[in-house]
Structure 1
Amino acid sequence: MQKIVLVFAFVLSASMLSAQTPEKAKALLDEVYNKVKSYNNIFVDFKFDLKNAEAGINQETRGDVTLAGDKYVFNYLGSKQLYDGKKVYTIVPENEEVTIEDQSNEEDAMTPSKMLTFYKQGHNYEWDILQNVQGRKIQYVKLTPIDSNTEIKSRLLGIDMGTKHIYRLIETGKNGTKTTITVNSFKTNQPLSATLFNFDEAKYKDEGYYILRN
């Protein structure tokens, strides 16, 4: 009889802990979100790693993004993308080309302006593993998309428990592709040029760039 009581108590406590997990994970993500939104601007230098063993893909590169509200300047793979709050400008020096288009209206579209807040909606949350990375405690939260039609199987979001900043995002696709973004540098409230998010079309025309409007 005593063994049965002990087993019942263990099962009950485990089920209670499991029930608290989504709320605990959501509370942490809310704390991260509120901290991100409190900054005037954010600069992130990151490493991007893309792997798909079946397709023979193994790519690694670096990039950086400066964010202020919804506006951003995103440098990646030798190109620059700028959003001034109205239009997105993609500048490709290699092709001497600039593409101008409206910001995507798709709610699920992952844009630089959403890279630190995308988890706020559209996911179920689960408390995951805790890692020690060079003395930093990184707590992972597993994000599972609510929309079953998405190409994303799951995401793991690693939070630095000391700063409450995002340290790493590991995204697993249903096709086996694994994308890892690791933050190398996270700076806030930096002095920014008043024209940082402005696109100077005349300058690029003078340099011989082809301007394409979509």
Structure 2
Amino acid sequence: MKKTTFKMYNFIKVLAVFFITFSLNAQDSAQKAKKLLDDVSAKIKGYENIVFDFKYSYSNPNSNLNQESKGNVSMQGEMYVLNFMGITRIFDGKKIYNIVPEDEEITISNYDKEKKDELTPSKMLTFFSSGYKYSMDILQNVKGRKIQYVKLKPIDANDKAKEILIGIDYQTKHIHNLIQVDKDGSKSTFTINSFKTNQPLSKNHFTFTESKYPNYYINRLD
């Protein structure tokens, strides 16, 4: 075997080993990421109810838009009470009630479970179960907590998201934050500030009581 041919053979051999190793590492990263996300989903579904406070920020460099808001959620199964941007939304399992104190107006509509783009608090904590390619990302220390990030790439080429990063508390398996970067350059960050589980909620916590809003205009869509 000529010297040049031998060198080329070695180069191809090394290159092949590199790509095989890279492929195996990528598979291992995907498996670890999926396992961690499955652990998060299982943990969430195991609680009787969840109450958390959050901060939401949105920025779009193309329009010089920067917004930041805080809110809170209490949820039990699919039912929830969400307070965000001055609006209270209640879902009792059948109907959705949007209460706007500033306008003294309430909108009532039926819940359509077939509407896939309907965002609910439970989906916010479990949406990542399917439809994405997964990989492990950086590990950060946040105030003494180990936050492991998992990177999600949408499988659907028409998805507006370019990538999503989910920060997970490695010890509790709770979500710390979520960062979504869209193809248009906009960025959304959702951070959970406090997270409580199995709280003593009243039996009417997710019930809309019309008598509490005597002067409100009620718009019934269904």
Structures share fold, TM-score greater than 0.5: yes
Deviation at 1:137, TM superposition (A): 1.0
1:176 partnered with 2:156: no
Instruction: Tell me the residue number matched to 1:212.
Output: 219
Report the residue type matching 1:210 in the other structure: Y
Determine which of 67, 70, 73 is the counterpart of 2:78: 70
1:159 partnered with 2:163: no
CA contact (8 A) 1:110 1:118 kept: no
Deviation at 1:110, TM superposition (A): 2.3
Deviation at 1:14, TM superposition (A): 2.7
Deviation at 1:174, TM superposition (A): 2.0
Structure 2 unmatched ranges of 5 or more: 1-5
Q: Distance in 1 between matches of 2:156 and 2:120?
A: 18
Identity %: 50
Instruction: Tell me the residue number matched to 2:158.
Output: 149
1:36 partnered with 2:44: yes
Query: Structure 1, residues 135-154: CA drift from partner, whole Å, max 9, x if none?
Result: 21111111122222222222
1:188 partnered with 2:197: yes
Q: Distance in 1 between matches of 2:78 and 2:205?
A: 13
Deviation at 1:102, TM superposition (A): 2.0
Structure 1 unmatched ranges of 5 or more: none
Report the residue type matching 1:212 in the other structure: N
**Deviates further, 109-118 or 39-48:** 109-118
**Deviates further, 128-137 or 98-107:** 98-107
Bigger radius of gyration among the two: 2
Instruction: Tell me the residue number matched to 1:126.
Output: 135
TM-score, with structure 2 as normaliser: 0.89
Instruction: Tell me the residue number matched to 2:3.
Output: none
Deviation at 1:56, TM superposition (A): 1.1
Q: Where in structure 1 do 4 or more consecutive aligned residues deviate above 6 Å?
A: none
Deviation at 1:121, TM superposition (A): 2.0
Q: Distance in 1 between matches of 2:178 and 2:193?
A: 12
SS at match of 1:33: helix
RMSD of the TM alignment (CA)?
A: 1.8
Q: Distance in 1 between matches of 2:50 and 2:16?
A: 49
Q: Distance in 1 between matches of 2:78 and 2:177?
A: 21
Determine which of 181, 206, 217 is the counterpart of 1:197: 206
Determine which of 87, 111, 115 is the counterpart of 2:124: 115
